Amino acid sequence: MLKCISMSSMAKVFADKSPKDEAVNKFSLLKNERLSFQTALYLEGNETQNVSFEIKGSLKNYITAYFVEAIPSKMTSYKDSDDYYIDKNPGLFPDLLRPLGATFDLEANKWASIWFEFEPGDEIPAGPYKVEVDFMAEKGGKCTVVTELEIIDALLPKQELIHTNWFHTDCLATWYKVEVFSEDYWEIVENYVKNAVRHGLNFILTPLFTPPLDTEVGGERPTVQLVDVFLNDGEYSFGFEKLDRWVDMCERCGIDYYEMSHLYTQWGAKHAPKIMATVDGKEKKLFGWNTWAGGKAYSEFLEAFAKELIAFIEAKGIGKRVYFHVSDEPSAHQFRTYKKRAEAVEKLFPGYPVVDALSDYKFYKRGVVQTPIPATDHIDPFIGNVPELWAYYCCSQHRHYVSNRFFAMPSQRNRVLGFQLYKFDVKGFLHWGYNFWYSQYSKYEINPFEVSDAGQGFPSGDAYVVYPGDDGKPLNSLRLKVFYDAFQDLQALQLLESLIGREKTLALLEDGLDEEISFRSYPRSEKWQLDKREQINKAIKENM
């Protein structure tokens, strides 16, 4: 016997547990939106069977199907995490979306899920539609699910939120065993950039030099620097051919903004990043962990480099779309060192915005950073007190019910971020892990299909949202799809605001709540999330 249940994209279906989420089979979406939904399946019997499926209806050519594959997690959470988790025990968690052909194998007496993504692409007329999917087991057993979709005659506006999810090209080269800057490397990188843009990334970490991120002191990551450095008879010169190719590729993929990699090491800006150079005809490491950040040698290098980089940026026509970094996540006791480095960067690149992830308000209050990016659980002092509010989260945001996207968290905790970004008019969002497939501190390579927690460095789901496909293209996670749903929710609210105004839109968003939405407070309910989006869509339809 084959059982099937219609579910939303926020359901997580575990093999050994009957789905707790309510069955959902009615959705609405705008004409250029993407909408995901699932079917949970259960096969009674004694053996694995091959199951075929057929999508019926006029929308079938606009729907892509995936098998939701479970990935192991040893480290699901920290000991002091809050209680808004599905299961904190180690185990298998649904995450990987494996593209489906015409059939798939289904284990007996275990639940599984098929993920459907519908993308009308503004090609289908508004109105009601039905999608019917028939599932047939090879040795008997059949079930059918019917999903009702309403396409609303409206378009999501262009994404205004500046969004970066740090892009690690060295992880691509390591996994695929290709030489950095070979033609295979460039092809793979472009595949991953295209996919990132498709899921809302429009601001890309650009490795001027090998980014000094998540690297143990004294260690180093593979060299991926885009700028060639030459030192001949004490004089610096630079080659920008690789950076030029990078920008052309990013423009082709749809990138809007460029996030120049950090000019000083993480956690305090004490050292220089790894910088390779050709010195009097021989390649050598010019700077690195043994280089004092404020020393004469590195300061003179940066001064020579900045002039040439600015000339390149302006000639390329991207000057108004470039941001610089000083150092990632400085703490309060590193204030003085960071201040000196920040002043140097501001002097080197006058007029260019500087952004950094940091959560101590005094860095902004004392004028050290122009655009701080605070963590969502430390953002309150920044709200209403900075010209542009940005936000980030990472592994540390595991308490106080703030949004995040760990394996063990409900998907609603992932998606609710869109409503929060809208309410607080957030201009930019940062996360560090698009495809980090190394251990914590980049000590060794990991297999993301088998090790999801960076060698038990971070809770599973923090370090990456894509998996390496065999063809040099990424395989997506359900977490990335749900995260993109959050962006679509944000854009829908912005559209509604353009129709009825911000005050009425905020009132609708918080209608029926006993407590206002904040980054820590929101209804922890999949049903509320879905109902609220339907309410937003209804208001858009009525006010077009």
The whole-model pTM stands at: 0.97
- Asked if 96 and 69 touch (Cβ cutoff 8 Å), the reply is yes
Which has the closest alpha carbon to 149: 287, 27, 293? 27
161 is a domain residue: no
- For 214, the enclosing helix (H) or strand (E) is none
pLDDT at residue 102 in the model: 92
Q: What is the DSSP string of 36-91?
A: EEEEEEEE-SSS-EEEEEEEESTTGGGEEEEEEEEEEES----TT--S--S--SSE
Q: Would residue 58 count as lying in a domain?
A: yes
Q: 77-81, 138-142, 203-207, 226-230: which has the minimum mean pLDDT?
A: 138-142
Residue 405 CA to residue 90 CA, distance in Å, equals: 16
Task: For residue 191, tell me if it sits in a domain.
Answer: no
Instruction: Assess contact for 404 and 411: CB atoms under 8 A.
Output: no
Does residue 28 surpass a pLDDT of 90? yes
Q: Which two tokens stand for residue 307?
A: 């002039």
Strands of 359-445 (E only): list them: 371-373, 390-392, 428-431
Q: Give the pLDDT score at 22.
A: 81
List pLDDT tens digits, range 517-529: 999 999 999 999 9
The angle subtended at Cα 266 by Cα 260 and Cα 270, nearest 5°, is 105
Hey, what amino acid is at 61?
A: N
pLDDT at 20: 84
pLDDT (average), residues 235-255 = 98
| CATH value at residue 85 | 2.60.40.10
Above 90 in pLDDT, residue 171?
Answer: yes
Alpha helical stretches, state H, 323-370: 335-348, 362-365
Q: What one-character-per-residue DSSP string does 238-275 give? A: EE-HHHHHHHHHHHHHT--EEEEPPSS-TTT--BPPPE
pLDDT 10s digits, 459-507? 999 999 999 999 999 999 999 999 999 999 999 999 999 999 999 999 9
- Amino acid (1-letter code) at residue 278: T
Strand (E) positions, 80-179? 91-99, 103-106, 111-118, 127-137, 142-152, 162-165
Specify if 110 maps to a domain. yes
Q: Is residue 227 part of a domain?
A: no
Place of tokens 């020393």: 295
Q: Is residue 78 part of a domain?
A: yes
Count the residues in the chain.
Answer: 544
CA 384, CA 361: separation in Å to the nearest integer?
A: 12
For the CA atoms of the chain, what is the radius of gyration?
24
The string of pLDDT tens digits covering residues 85-129 is 999 999 999 999 999 999 999 999 999 999 999 999 999 999 999
In a domain, 86, yes or no: yes
Helices (H) and strands (E) in the chain, counts: 11, 24
- Banded pLDDT at 266 (limits 50, 70, 90): very high
Examine residue 31 and state whether it is found in any structural domain, yes or no.
yes
532 sits in which H/E element:
helix 526-543
Share of the chain above pLDDT 90, in %: 98
**Rounded Cα–Cα distance for residues 9 and 155 (Å):** 21
Domain count of the fold of the chain: 1
**Average pLDDT value over all residues in the chain:** 97
- Boundaries of domain holding 98: 2-155
How far is CA 179 from each of CA 169, 209, 309, rounded to the nearest angstrom? 11, 17, 25
> Which of 488, 530, 533 shows the shortest CA–CA distance to 509?
533
Question: Could you report the per-residue pLDDT of 178-190, keeping only the tens digit for each?
Answer: 999 999 999 999 9
